[in-house]
Amino acid sequence: MEAFIDVFGEILQYSIPAILVMIIVKYLNDSQIKKQKLNEGFALKQEIIKTHLPLKLAAYERAILFLERINPESLLMRIGTQNKNAAQLREELVSEIKNEYEHNLVQQLYISHTGWQAVNYAKDEMINIINLSFQEVGKEVKGLELGKIILTKCSGLKELPTSKATFVLKSDILHLFSVDQKMR
């Protein structure tokens, strides 16, 4: 029995340090793997930012360009009011806004939900201003008169819907860059 205890004691004498070494190696290995995964995750995020950021910026640029193009002054200058009655001008203005919007519809993939809602609101409000102005002047009035009413309505607003939406988009971009800077 004493021989068994001596053999058992000797086994414990060598196995306990070996077990401790294995536990420490496992801990260090797990720690290294965890650190490597974090680094890989960070590198992946950086790569996504590098490829995704230009697409996001381009979408915001296109959305702001859309808002500038549906701004009443810009829209009226592009469409022109010469040789048109109010009904024709109203139809062309609304059609132009809708066409521009449809052309930029895909940009919502890269724009924040709040930003895209602001763009939609601006589009709808501009169409609403055109329609309300048209109702005031009637069909047979010259397009020039409708243009004047539209500009008068817009000048009476505290802020144009397109300006509000542009502000939201610019705020999104600033937020985007502040988040990007924190990740570096």
pLDDT digits (tens, 9 = 90+) for 38-88: 877 777 777 777 788 889 999 999 999 999 999 999 999 999 888 899 999
Distance CA 67, CA 63 (A): 6
Structure pTM? 0.73
| Domain count for the chain | 1
**Torsion, CA 25, CA 26, CA 30, CA 31, rounded to 10:** -40
Whether the predicted pLDDT of 21 surpasses 70? yes
Mean residue pLDDT of the chain comes to 88
Q: pLDDT band at 184, cuts 50/70/90?
A: very low
pLDDT of 20 reads 82
Domain encompassing residue 23: 2-183
- Percent with pLDDT over 90 in the chain: 61
Q: Is the pLDDT of residue 132 over 60?
A: yes
